[in-house]
């Protein structure tokens, strides 16, 4: 008997189940799609601009050269020339693809098969052994994102990888990746890596070298062949095996390349000198050449021999006397007559303190400020032979005293300079006028705040060691103003000149006669005054300085060739153990200047190579010096 299906009681039930499944399946699909859109919108919100994604942008570096052309520092990232995949030997991209993303030319930016394989391998190993990121994802991360390990960053990476795949060819993506990825030792991009490790451009890499560089992508710092050649070679063998497995190499070629000897470029042992100076140079670049992503080569005025001498002598001197004398730190700067910085030590040890006390610290100069006062006095008609009375003085209730507590009665201005008599300096400042003292300071290049107080004559205002030393350069060169400087030329790596120093400074700021008079008086400081400990084997002039409470000790002086300034003290302003500028600072100055002039013939100071007048002979005789 035939069965009537229309009357089958199970038919309505199946139909209702089908309708229910379709209805809720469609509903869930719509909601799922909506949720996906919202999620993508959430993660895609505030994504970085992708307009210039395909452009290869190098990360700028600055190479700093000494005056003789030797390299003293390199900052920033090192980037090579931008290279296209088509210009590389065919085995270079093959080595990268075989190791990093074997299905690169097959997937759409996200490798689902690769993710599944990595999941399986990691699950079996019980730890992370493989990653599932594609080259497209890594390129997206390097171009747009930070290395943070978050789900948000990973989702954004995937979105950007899909965008890259949609807008660019595989070769374009690979080109961007190879020019932006980090290969260790500060090298960004495959050309920088090739030059850093093998001394050749990326277009001339051989297969084994390409394998080394491709292997670095796993751990660029740990596998850096300059510090871990064994690890780099071992990793290169793995890359060659991967290339064999991917069908890029034959068994014979694989064995041959694995056995090929590798020669790496030796890591350059950069001179660890001038690091305070290099920091000072870097700070000035933006003002000179502007901002911009350019690799720069900066030629400076630094003399490597003098720099090593300055750093070594300062460190040894303070190591020997610093503890007993309670001297926490020091600084030294050496200029030539034109204001070019030949040496700069900003502390006793850069590794322990990067603060540059030669440039950044403002300290009370004490009596090294007195030449500024005396210059104002010369301009006001006071001569080195002018006699002044060293006796107690009261200026609106302020009663300055001499360092030794004595009063000498009638003495010449030159004697007052040699013996660093405070009363004489104050009287000269008051006779010349405080405004004229400040004017003289500005002419000499001092830019710090100089309040018009009577105590200004004794160096109560603060100044930097570099500015004070540059002020003395005006006396050393016969009266021409200088701007302390360290940069002579800035070029791009391609050789284009961006900046070249021209001109010398503000021109004449002190008359020849007054500059010569200052040199004569300052030479008396070393011959018979407070700076006897600074004497060297040639004509020299200088001034001691000690701030109130032995908080600062200075000596700044010059020969016919070099001007050197030294400061000692404690960063927290605590007093030293009776350390004066005529003691520890002057002795160090003598050591440094004696060694700095080795091999140079003695020369007279500017303006002092003329026949002495009878008046000057008398002054020098009074000071105990010869003619």
Assigned CATH for 78-259: 1.10.3810.10
CA 583-584-588 angle, 5° bins: 115
pLDDT: which is higher, 450 or 153: 450
DSSP of 468-485: HHHHHHHHHTTSEE---B
pLDDT of residue 541: 97
Q: Tell me, what's the pLDDT at 615?
A: 38
Could you tell me the pLDDT band of residue 13, with boundaries at 50, 70 and 90? Answer: low
Give 609's pLDDT tier (boundaries 50, 70, 90): low
Confidence label for 446 from pLDDT (cuts 50, 70 and 90)? very high
Q: Which tens digit of pLDDT belongs to each residue from 280-337? A: 998 888 778 776 657 889 999 999 999 999 999 999 999 999 999 999 999 999 999 9
pLDDT above 90 for 567: yes
Looking at the DSSP bridge assignments, the partners of residue 300 are 487
- The single residue listed with the structure tokens 């689902």 is 112
Percent with pLDDT over 70 in the chain: 81
Burial class (CB in 10 A: 0-12, 13-18, 19+), 482: buried
Return the higher-pLDDT residue of 42 and 254.
254
- Orientation of helix 512-528 relative to helix 370-379, angle to 10°: 140
62-116 per-position pLDDT tens digit: 899 999 999 998 876 666 778 999 999 999 999 999 999 898 998 877 776 756 6
| Residue 504: per-residue pLDDT | 73
Q: In the chain, where are the structural domains located?
A: 78-259, 306-487+506-623
Per the DSSP assignment, residues forming a β-bridge with 498 are none
The first and second tokens of residue 214, run together, are 């491709």
Give pLDDT, residue 10: 57
DSSP line for 124-141: HHTS-------HHHHHHH
Q: pLDDT by residue (tens digit) across 367-419? A: 999 999 999 999 999 999 999 999 999 999 999 999 888 999 999 999 999 99
Q: Would you state the pLDDT for residue 620?
A: 40
CATH architecture of 306-487+506-623: 3-Layer(aba) Sandwich (3.40)
The mean pLDDT of 245-267, rounded to a whole number, is 86
Give the three-state DSSP class for 240: helix
Place of tokens 């000790």: 553
Beta bridge partners, 71, equal: 65
Query: Poorest-confidence range of 96-105, 337-346, 441-450?
Result: 96-105
292 burial via Cβ count (<10 Å: 0-12, 13-18, 19+): exposed
pLDDT tens column, 516-532 = 999 999 999 999 999 99
Closest to 553 measured CA to CA, from 525, 575, 581, 574? 581
Which run of H or E residues covers position 278?
helix 275-289
DSSP β-ladder status, 187-188 and 497-500: unpaired
pLDDT score of 626 more than 50: no
Tell which wins on pLDDT, 349 or 621. 349
Residue 584 pLDDT exceeds 70: yes
Residue 221: the pLDDT is 80
Q: Which of 380, 376, 552 is nearest to 471 (CA)?
A: 376
Of 144-158, 284-298, 384-398, 484-498, least confident by mean pLDDT is 144-158
**Per-residue pLDDT tens digits for 14-32:** 777 777 677 666 666 665 5
**What is the spatial distance between Cα 554 and Cα 331, in angstroms, rounded to a whole number?**
10
């Amino acid at each position: 008997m035939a069965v009537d299906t229309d009357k089958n009681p199970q038919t309505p039930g199946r139909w209702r189940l089908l309708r229910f499944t379709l209805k809720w399946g469609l509903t869930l699909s719509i909601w799922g799609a909506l949720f996906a859109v919202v999620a993508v919108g959430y993660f895609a919100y505030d994504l970085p601009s992708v307009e210039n994604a395909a452009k290869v942008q190098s990360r700028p570096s600055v190479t700093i050269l000494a005056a003789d052309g030797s390299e003293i520092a390199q900052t920033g990232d090192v980037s090579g020339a931008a290279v296209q995949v088509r210009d590389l030997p065919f085995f270079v991209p093959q080595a990268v693809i075989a190791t990093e993303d074997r299905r690169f030319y097959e997937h759409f930016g996200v490798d689902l098969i690769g993710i599944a394989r990595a999941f399986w391998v990691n699950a079996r190993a019980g730890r992370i052994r493989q990653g599932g990121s594609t080259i497209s994802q890594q390129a997206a991360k390097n171009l747009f994102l930070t290395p943070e390990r978050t789900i948000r960053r990973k989702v954004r990476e995937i979105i950007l990888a899909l965008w890259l795949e949609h807008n660019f060819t595989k070769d374009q993506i690979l080109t961007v990746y190879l020019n932006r990825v980090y290969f260790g030792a500060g090298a960004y991009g495959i050309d920088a890596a090739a030059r850093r490790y093998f001394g050749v451009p990326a277009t001339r890499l051989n297969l084994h070298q390409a394998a080394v560089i491709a292997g670095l992508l796993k751990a660029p710092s740990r596998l850096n062949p300059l510090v871990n050649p064994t690890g780099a070679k071992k990793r290169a063998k793995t890359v060659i095996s991967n290339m064999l497995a991917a069908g890029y190499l034959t068994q014979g070629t694989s064995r041959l390349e694995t056995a090929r000897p590798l020669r790496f470029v030796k890591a350059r042992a950069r001179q660890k000198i001038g690091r305070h100076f290099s920091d000072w140079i870097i700070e000035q670049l933006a003002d000179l050449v502007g901002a911009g992503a350019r690799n720069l080569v900066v030629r400076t005025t630094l003399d490597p021999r003098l720099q090593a001498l300055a750093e070594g002598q300062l460190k040894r001197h303070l190591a020997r006397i610093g503890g007993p004398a309670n001297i926490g730190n020091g600084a030294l700067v050496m200029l030539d007559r034109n204001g070019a910085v030949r040496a700069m030590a900003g502390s006793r040890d850069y590794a322990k303190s990067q603060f540059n006390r030669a440039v950044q610290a403002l300290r009370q100069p004490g009596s090294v400020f007195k030449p500024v006062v005396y210059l104002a006095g010369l301009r006001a008609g006071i001569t080195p032979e002018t006699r002044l009375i060293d006796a107690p003085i009261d200026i609106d209730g302020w009663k300055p005293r001499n360092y030794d507590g004595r009063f000498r009665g009638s003495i010449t201005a030159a004697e007052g300079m040699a013996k660093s008599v405070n009363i004489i300096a104050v009287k000269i400042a008051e006779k010349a006028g405080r405004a004229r003292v400040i004017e003289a300071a500005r002419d000499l290049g001092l830019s710090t705040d100089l309040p018009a107080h009577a105590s200004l004559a004794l160096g109560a205002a603060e100044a930097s060691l570099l500015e004070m030393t540059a002020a003395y350069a005006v006396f050393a060169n016969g009266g021409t103003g200088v701007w302390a400087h360290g940069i002579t030329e800035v070029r791009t790596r391609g050789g284009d000149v961006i900046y070249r120093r021209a001109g010398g400074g503000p021109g004449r700021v002190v008359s020849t006669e007054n500059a010569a008079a200052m040199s004569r008086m300052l030479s008396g400081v070393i011959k018979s005054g407070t700076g006897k400990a600074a004497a060297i084997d040639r004509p020299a002039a200088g001034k001691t300085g000690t701030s109130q409470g032995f908080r600062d000790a200075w000596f700044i002086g010059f020969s016919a060739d070099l001007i050197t300034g030294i400061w000692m003290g404690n960063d927290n302003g605590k007093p030293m153990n009776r350390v004066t500028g005529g003691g520890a600072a002057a002795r160090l100055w003598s050591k440094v200047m004696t060694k700095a002039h080795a091999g140079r013939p003695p020369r007279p100071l500017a303006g002092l190579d003329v026949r002495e007048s009878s008046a000057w002979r008398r002054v020098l005789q009074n000071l105990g010096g010869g003619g």
